[in-house]
Structure 1
Amino acid sequence: MTAATAGPGRLAVARLQYEGGGDWYANPSSLPNLIRAIAERTSLPIERAEAKVTLTDSALFDFPFLHATGHGEMKFSEVEARRLREYLTRGGFLHVDDNYGLDESFRREIVKVFPDRPLVEVPTSHPIYHLVYEFPNGLPKVHEHDGKPAKGYGIFIGNRLALYYTYSADLGNGWEDVGTYPDPPAIHEQALRLGVNLFTYAATSRVQP
């Protein structure tokens, strides 16, 4: 489905299509694999099809979980920044995965959305690291491009984590089909487990407008 809504009583994952020239469509097998894991490992009523939405789509607020990735430029218009702020403030959840190249533009653009809320490191005690699977050390490292440690940053609205940014981890690559990258299956499993935690948190912490 594209900007379609989820079925009655069901939850869905949507890939965010953004402007700027970045490959928002990267890691094509990642979300289908994540959705399958959520469906098989939790009791959440999840749609089996990945959706694709822009920030101006009328169906944006129907999705509890948005995922954005890519290697290049991300750019939000003033209208898009306002819509994303409204989406997150009203209970939505955005996961942004830096696919080694998105960091500079994402950090610039998110200031348009929340000039008053800086990105902060999410503590390892947060529920995203414990809801379904335990991650006592926080975000797992999937790729070793530059030797930097994997970092999970977030923006909080009240006590709720509304945006989670995975940096120097390549979590989405870990969701892709085993064999797509030379990472061992154990890393693929760790990535999927954290993805299950993220979606579970997004679905169960959502504040209804």
Structure 2
Amino acid sequence: MRFNLNLFLILFASFAFSQNIAVLKYNGGGDWYSNPTALPNLVKFSNAQINTKINPQIAEVNPNSPELFSFPYIYMTGHGNVFFNSEDIKNLRLYLKSGGFLHIDDNYGLDQYIRPELKKLFPNKTLEILPANHPIFSQVFNFPNGLPKIHEHDGKPPQAFGIFEDNRLILLYTYESDLGNGWEDQAVHNDPEEVRLKALKMGANILHYIFVK
């Protein structure tokens, strides 16, 4: 039997943590690596506050990689251009239809680029606005008005959009909220603690929705 190092590492990590998450390393020139402290801070908060057991070591994964299927939650952010080639589309679509979850968090400037790529990914589906009574807004922490506003950009209201497969939310697009900025170290954006806490609580709701529901 051939030794599989990657499988061994995944199994070894699972002794301490039940799940791993990753950042999507997409092509097109956009800064997929934005907000480097965001996910580690969110995982730390979630593990401490709502008893998730997520590995604090955040992976990076390409959309066409078989490793995509090792991560129940994939986070995507940035400000600029995004491009999914045919292999990216095929792999991402299979990943999402097979039980995966993609959270796209607009870091301001991503919207005009990601929407055409999502039409390539799911030509027959549309982004649906999640109502404020969707369970993701009340998993653990209650957000009666839906997605919170963390950073002001164009003065637009925050919106959460979803793509569904057989009534299952498989893709969440958070727009005009900038949750990732709120998850970052306080010194990065100098956000008031109550704003950061609001972002972290909403992020914890998302993780709870994926891992605990």
TM-score bin, normalised by smaller chain: over 0.9
Q: Name the amino acid aligned to 1:126.
A: H
Q: 2:164 aligns with which of 128, 131, 156?
A: 156
Post-superposition offset of 1:79: 1.0
Identity %: 46
* Mapped pair 1:28 → 2:14: no
Q: Name the amino acid aligned to 1:16.
A: L
1:178-208 C-alpha deviation (Å, 9 max, x unpaired): 1311321111001001111111111245xxx
Contact persistence 1:119–1:154 (CA under 8 A): yes
Q: 2:75 aligns with which of 62, 67, 90?
A: 67
Post-superposition offset of 1:42: 2.2
1:1-29 C-alpha deviation (Å, 9 max, x unpaired): x9974723620120000000000000111
Contact persistence 1:16–1:53 (CA under 8 A): yes
Q: 1:38 aligns with which of 36, 46, 53?
A: 46
- Structure showing greater radius of gyration is 2
Normalized per residue, the structure richer in helix is 2
* Mapped pair 1:92 → 2:100: yes
Q: 1:1-209 residue pairs with structure 2 within 5 A?
A: 5=10, 7-8=13-14, 10-204=18-212
Contact persistence 1:68–1:94 (CA under 8 A): yes
Q: Name the amino acid aligned to 2:172.
A: Y
Give the RMSD, CA atoms, in angstroms. 1.7
Runs (4+) of structure 1 moved beyond 4 Å?
none
1:138-170 C-alpha deviation (Å, 9 max, x unpaired): 001011121110111110112211111011111
1:121-152 C-alpha deviation (Å, 9 max, x unpaired): 01111111011110110001011121110111
Contact persistence 1:139–1:150 (CA under 8 A): yes
| Structure 2 CA distance for aligned equivalents of residues 56 and 148 of structure 1 | 33
Report the TM-score, using the length of structure 1 for normalisation. Answer: 0.93
How many aligned residue pairs are there? Answer: 204
Post-superposition offset of 1:59: 1.6
Secondary structure of 1:28's partner?
coil
Secondary structure of 2:102's partner?
strand
Unaligned runs of 5+ in 1: none
Contact persistence 2:65–2:91 (CA under 8 A): no
| Structure 2 CA distance for aligned equivalents of residues 103 and 146 of structure 1 | 12
| Structure 2 CA distance for aligned equivalents of residues 187 and 114 of structure 1 | 34
